């Protein structure tokens, strides 16, 4: 879903930073997987051609830049993009900014020319600029480890060149030079200094990555809708493979088609809101009570919705199924599970032979349809909350028709229709929804 690049001069610690960033993403967030890569690709013919052109110095700067661009274009669309569409995170040691600095600034080809040559490549959602003093970088490279592993001589000859490269990164990534389009779309953080301990370096990178992802930025290279539909469909299909052995504590799977159970969608949501509001009122005088003020909050919608596509799950299994769009931190997942189980009484929990000491949570049958509904209305949950604040005395059943009426060509409405067609509309006789009129009819329970 996100492409994160790590940039900086030779010996600055890009390789270490790439590994640290990947570790943080794997530990703290719920991507399908985290893939590490780098440019130019030493294992690919196009990448090796680019490397050889630098070592042999047989091409003019434009020809050299063209080989790097060709490798990047193939890398972008043949390797990185398919992973992003599946909700994976890709961390790349070097990407477009290296070419802008090495060929565009240091090689004097010009930023606009290099950007034009790479204009069809993917754009990093986040670029992390790693920096250190050129003398420290030179000692690292000449110390042998870096040179023996990757032959850094192909990029680095003298401390003078290292200073030019560092100045190039500073001029471009600090904003002194205007970042050429379309590569001005991504977020940029730095410089992250790598001149002291690895512990200090890790702390800085941890802060950068968490701040970026907690802001929930829209990915640049893929559509959130496409990523989520992929994940929901995959999770739905996985239901067929889940165990139904009741003698080890797991309950049978529920009806995956008629999940509305004859209820009207707006009424399911309204009843759940009343249940939640009652708990909110009862706890208003209690101290140290903290939980989401709306069932349409990200965390409740995410966890209840995901559990509706699972037989039962412990916290680790649940977070693995969340995917990048519905991501909730581990600690917050624990809090919401506790709230849903102990306060709202929407979950049952059991310990099985397979789960050991970790209890498995399951949506009660009464709230199974709510979980599915929260997944369906996910694209418009913010619009519903705004409508309710704006129209406190109007009935909830009027919300969706008015939202559609007031927001022509609303992309979230089309996303909601796609979700219904992917997950099923929950009625006994499943119908394919094709229009806003179909959606309103479904919402009203007609």
- Write the DSSP string, 6-22: EE--TTSSHHHHHHHHH
Q: Where are the beta strands (DSSP E) in 344-424?
A: 347-350, 360-363
The fraction of the chain above a pLDDT of 90, given in percent, is: 58
Name 43's Cβ contacts closer than 8 Å, sequence gap at least 6: none
**CA atoms 191, 197, 200, 204: torsion sign:** positive
d(CA 155, CA 170): 18
Q: What's residue 56's pLDDT?
A: 84
- The mean-pLDDT minimum among 118-127, 149-158, 355-364, 402-411 falls in 149-158
Residue 6: beta bridge partners?
93, 128
At residue 155 the predicted structure's pLDDT band, cuts being 50, 70 and 90, is very low
Looking at 222, 242, 264, which one is the last position of a domain? 222
| Strands lying side by side in the sheet with 89-93 | 34-38, 89-93, 2-7, 126-131, 187-193
Q: What's residue 251's pLDDT?
A: 55
d(CA 409, CA 417): 13
**Higher per-residue confidence, 205 vs 427:** 205
Name 350's Cβ contacts closer than 8 Å, sequence gap at least 6: 249, 312, 359, 360, 362
Cα–Cα distances (Å) from 131 to 135, 138, 301, 337, 360, in that order, read: 12, 13, 41, 42, 46
**CA atoms 327, 332, 338, 340: torsion sign:** negative
Domain span at residue 340 reads 225-444
Please write the tens of the pLDDT for every residue from 330-344: 889 999 999 999 888
At residue 357 the predicted structure's pLDDT band, cuts being 50, 70 and 90, is low
Note the pTM of the prediction, 2 decimals: 0.85
- Are 103 and 151 in a shared domain? yes
Read off φ and ψ for residue 421, nearest 5 degrees. -70, -30
- Are 208 and 332 in a shared domain? no
Q: What's residue 381's pLDDT?
A: 93
Radius of gyration of the chain (CA): 26
| Cβ pair 125, 90 in contact under 8 A | no
Mean pLDDT of 304-316: 91
Please write the tens of the pLDDT for every residue from 40-84: 999 999 999 999 988 888 888 889 999 999 999 999 999 999 999
- Are 283 and 143 in a shared domain? no
**Higher per-residue confidence, 97 vs 261:** 97
Q: What's residue 152's pLDDT?
A: 45
Looking at 222, 245, 269, which one is the last position of a domain? 222
Mean pLDDT of 362-373: 93
Average pLDDT, rounded, for the chain: 86
d(CA 424, CA 430): 7
- Are 53 and 126 in a shared domain? yes
Q: What's residue 235's pLDDT?
A: 87
d(CA 40, CA 60): 18
- Are 187 and 330 in a shared domain? no
At residue 151 the predicted structure's pLDDT band, cuts being 50, 70 and 90, is very low
d(CA 223, CA 369): 27
Q: What's residue 354's pLDDT?
A: 57
| Cβ pair 134, 166 in contact under 8 A | yes
- Are 50 and 190 in a shared domain? yes
- Are 141 and 238 in a shared domain? no
- Are 59 and 167 in a shared domain? yes
Please write the tens of the pLDDT for every residue from 163-194: 888 899 999 999 899 999 999 999 999 899 98
Q: What's residue 356's pLDDT?
A: 56
- Are 196 and 236 in a shared domain? no
Mean pLDDT of 3-21: 92
Among 176, 188, 68, 63, which Cα is nearest to 125's? 188
- Total domains in the chain come to 2
- Are 213 and 259 in a shared domain? no
- Are 217 and 353 in a shared domain? no
The first and second tokens of residue 319, run together, are: 């977070």
Please write the tens of the pLDDT for every residue from 233-272: 888 887 655 544 444 445 555 666 788 988 999 999 999 9
**CA atoms 85, 88, 89, 91: torsion sign:** negative
Among 122, 136, 33, 127, which Cα is nearest to 79's? 122
Mean pLDDT of 6-34: 91
- Are 172 and 102 in a shared domain? yes
d(CA 247, CA 24): 38
Any idea what the CATH number is for the domain that residue 49 is in? 3.40.50.300
- The mean-pLDDT minimum among 145-154, 326-335, 388-397 falls in 145-154
Checking 258-263 for CB contacts under 8 A at 24+ apart, the result is 258/426, 258/427, 258/428, 259/308, 259/368, 259/369, 259/372, 259/424, 259/426, 260/369, 260/372, 260/373, 260/425, 260/426, 260/427, 261/369, 261/426, 262/428, 263/369, 263/445
Looking at 168, 193, 222, which one is the last position of a domain? 222
Residue with tokens 């890709």: 90
**Higher per-residue confidence, 179 vs 135:** 179
The stretches of 313-398 forming alpha helices (DSSP H) are 315-322, 330-338, 365-376, 381-390
Q: What's residue 275's pLDDT?
A: 87
Q: What's residue 288's pLDDT?
A: 52
CB-CB neighbours of 266 under 10 Å: 20
d(CA 383, CA 407): 10
């Amino acid at each position: 879903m996100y492409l994160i690049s790590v940039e900086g001069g030779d010996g600055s610690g890009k390789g270490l930073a790439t590994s640290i960033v990947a570790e943080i993403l794997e530990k703290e967030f719920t991507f399908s997987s985290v893939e590490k890569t780098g440019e130019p690709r030493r294992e690919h013919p196009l990448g090796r051609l680019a490397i050889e052109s630098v070592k042999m110095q047989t091409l003019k700067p434009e020809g050299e830049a063209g080989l790097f661009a060709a490798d990047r274009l193939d890398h972008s669309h043949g390797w990185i993009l398919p992973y992003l569409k599946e909700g994976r995170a890709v961390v790349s040691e070097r990407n477009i900014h290296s070419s802008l600095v090495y060929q565009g600034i240091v090689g004097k080809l010009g930023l606009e020319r290099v950007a034009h040559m790479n204009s069809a490549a993917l754009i990093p959602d986040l670029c992390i600029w790693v920096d250190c003093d050129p003398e420290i970088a030179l000692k690292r490279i000449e110390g042998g480890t870096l040179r023996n592993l990757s032959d850094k001589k192909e990029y680095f000859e003298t401390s003078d060149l290292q200073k030019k490269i560092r100045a190039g990164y500073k001029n471009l990534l600090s904003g002194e030079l205007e970042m050429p389009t379309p590569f001005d779309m991504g977020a940029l953080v730095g410089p992250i200094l790598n001149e002291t301990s690895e512990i200090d370096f890790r702390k800085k990178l941890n802060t950068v990555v968490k701040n970026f992802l907690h802001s929930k930025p829209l990915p640049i290279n893929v559509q959130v809708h496409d990523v989520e539909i992929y994940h929901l469909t995959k999770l739905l299909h996985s239901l067929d493979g889940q165990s139904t052995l009741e003698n080890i504590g797991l309950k049978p799977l529920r009806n995956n088609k008629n999940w509305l159970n004859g209820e009207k969608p707006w009424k399911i949501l309204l009843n759940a809101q009343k249940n939640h509001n009652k708990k909110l009122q009862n706890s208003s005088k209690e101290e140290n009570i903290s939980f989401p003020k709306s069932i349409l909050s990200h965390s409740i919608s995410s966890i209840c919705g995901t559990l509706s596509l699972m037989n039962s799950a412990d916290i680790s299994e649940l977070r693995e199924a969340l995917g990048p769009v519905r991501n909730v931190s581990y600690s917050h997942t624990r809090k919401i599970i506790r709230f849903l189980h102990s306060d709202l009484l929407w979950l049952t929990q059991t310990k099985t032979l397979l789960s050991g000491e970790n209890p498995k949570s399951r949506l009660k049958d009464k709230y199974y349809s709510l979980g599915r509904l929260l997944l369906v209305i996910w694209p418009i949950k913010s619009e519903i909350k705004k409508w309710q604040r704006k129209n406190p005395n109007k009935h909830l059943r009027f919300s969706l028709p008015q939202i559609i009426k007031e927001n022509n060509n609303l992309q979230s409405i089309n996303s909601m229709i796609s979700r219904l067609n992917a997950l099923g509309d929950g009625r006994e006789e499943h119908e394919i929804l094709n229009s806003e009129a179909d959606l309103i009819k479904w919402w009203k329970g007609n």
